[in-house]
Amino acid sequence: MVWCKMSIILICSTVLLIGWVLTLDQALWTTSETRHSCNWTCMILTLQWPGSFCLSLNTKNICKIPQNIQNWTIHGLWPLHAHSCCSCWRIYHSHLQELEPELSQLWPSLLKSRSAFTFWKDEWYKHGTCAACMENLGSPQYYFRTSLKLRMLFDIDSALTNADIIPSCNTSYKFEDLHSALAPLLGDSSVLQCVKDEKEREVWVQLKIYISKNITLGCHKQEKKQALLIAKATNTSSGHPCPPNTTIFYFPIDYVHPEQPCN
């Protein structure tokens, strides 16, 4: 009789434990599914200009421009309204070895204290895991390969050179001239970002390009409007939309004193 009661208690406890585990597993799955849902429709490919990148830093002496860097580089490919979706999706250096030569040229770290892989890893955790719900972005290799292809597709450097817009400490450019130089390549699907230097000059530092979910240029007007509102609401030292009513400087790269390219 005692053995029978103990068996019943054991069976009941096991059933309750299984039920609790299944409930917990379902709750975790639901939370994870919600967090990883692919509810974004627009991405921003952000390019940065090494010549003025250091001006955007609060501590400017941590900046370093490698000698092989001469063109616009990638800052990141960011799904709009999605951030840090899955820190558990690990990325290892070996995942990117095949792409490393291109990444080192087009997506370098410009900080002394941050290795290139650390930069790539941070971008993957913050943004890549959110983009990975799409098939052609669905792994670290796919995410970085697609980003590199987009950078090569949008040849910003040639578009500017062809319009006689070259880096200079003495010559500034009208906003509409910069926009017109990029229009054949990007249309209205980009935002120019500036920083102010010590002389209060507006200096071009970043270019944000709208990319739709299916990896084509452009996003819905509402998405672009929301992105611009966010940019205006978060004006910091790292950049703000370049004002259209003033001239803009496009500083050259100074490898020796990158924090003061035109002083």
Task: Count the Cβ atoms, other than its own, within 10 Å of residue 215.
Answer: 16
Taking the C-alpha atoms of residue 249 and residue 105, their distance in angstroms, rounded to an integer, is 24
Q: Which of 258, 260, 240 is nearest to 69 (CA)?
A: 258
Predicted pLDDT of residue 225 = 62
At residue 234, the pLDDT reads 43
pLDDT higher for 15 or 82?
Answer: 82
Taking the C-alpha atoms of residue 263 and residue 261, their distance in angstroms, rounded to an integer, is 6
**CA distances from residue 21 to 13, 17, 25, 71 in whole angstroms, order as listed:** 12, 6, 6, 54
Q: What angle do CA 173, 212, 228 make, to 5 degrees?
A: 45
- What is the rounded CA–CA span in Å between residue 123 and residue 131? 11
Q: Is the pTM of this model over 0.85?
A: no
Instruction: Please give the pLDDT value at position 53.
Output: 96
pLDDT at position 106, please? 98
Mean pLDDT, residues 245-256: 97
Six-digit token pair at 49?
């200009």
Tell me what pLDDT residue 7 has: 45
- pLDDT at position 37 is 67
Question: What is the pLDDT at residue 136?
Answer: 94
DSSP alpha helix (H) spans, 107-262? 116-123, 129-131, 140-153, 156-162, 175-186, 221-233
Q: What is the pLDDT of residues 195-231, one digit of tens each?
A: 999 999 999 999 999 999 999 999 977 665 666 555 5
In the chain the first and final C-alpha atoms are separated, in Å, by 93
pLDDT tens figures, 120-170: 999 999 999 999 999 999 999 999 999 999 999 999 999 999 999 999 999
pLDDT, residue 10, reads 39
Q: 25-77 pLDDT, tens per residue?
A: 333 333 343 355 688 999 999 999 999 999 999 888 899 999 999 999 999 99
Full set of structural domains in the chain with CATH: 40-249 (3.90.730.10)
Rounded Cα distance between 118 and 109, Å, is 8
pLDDT in tens, 60-74: 889 999 999 999 999
Contact 154, 184 (CB under 8 A): no
Q: Which range is least confidently modeled, 89-93, 99-103, 143-147, 235-239?
A: 235-239
- With residue 190 as reference, give the H or E element that holds it: strand 190-196
